[in-house]
Amino acid sequence: MNSRTTEILVGLFMLLFLGAMTILALKVSNLTSLSGANGYQVSANFDNVGGLRVRAPVSAGGVKVGQVSQIIYDSETFEAKVTLTIDEEFNQFPTDTSASIYTAGLLGEQYIGLEPGADDEVLEQNSEIGLTQSALVLERLIGQVLLNK
C-alpha cells in the first residue's frame, strides 16, 4: 500500500470516528429527538422540582414513555408546572395516574416516574395529573436530620 492510500484510509476512519462520537454525544445528552416527539401533552404541578430539566425522561415501570417538554412557575398556585409529552403509543394511562420526581442513582439526573391508577378514563391532550410527589431535596433532608438531634 502506498502512502496516499494509507492517508485516505486514515481520513475515512477519522470521519467515521467523529460521526460515531457525535451520535454518542447526542444520545448521552438526550438530544436525539429534537424534532419534537409525536404524542400528547399532560401537565402536573409540583411544590419542588429540584434539578429536573427539560428533556428529562418520563418513565413508567422503568420504561421511557415520554419526556419533560416544559417547566414553568405558576404564580397563581405558587408551584412549578411541568408539561410532559407522552409518546403516542402509551395512550392508555388512567386519569388517576400519579407522577413523582426521582433521581437516577445517588447523584444522577432526575426524571419523572408515572404510576398508573385504576380509573377507566384515560389521560388525553392537555389533561392534568393531580397526584404528584415532589423531588427529594437532599439539603432539606439533611437539615431536618440535624434539627431533630
pLDDT digits (tens, 9 = 90+) for 18-32: 999 998 888 777 666
pLDDT digits (tens, 9 = 90+) for 95-129: 999 999 998 876 678 999 999 989 899 999 999 99
- pLDDT grade for 17, boundaries at 50, 70 and 90: very high
Q: Indicate the SS3 state at residue 143.
A: helix
- Closest C-alpha among 98, 67, 94 to residue 83: 67
CB of 84 within 8 A of CB of 74? no
Question: Is the predicted pLDDT of residue 35 greater than 80, yes or no?
Answer: no
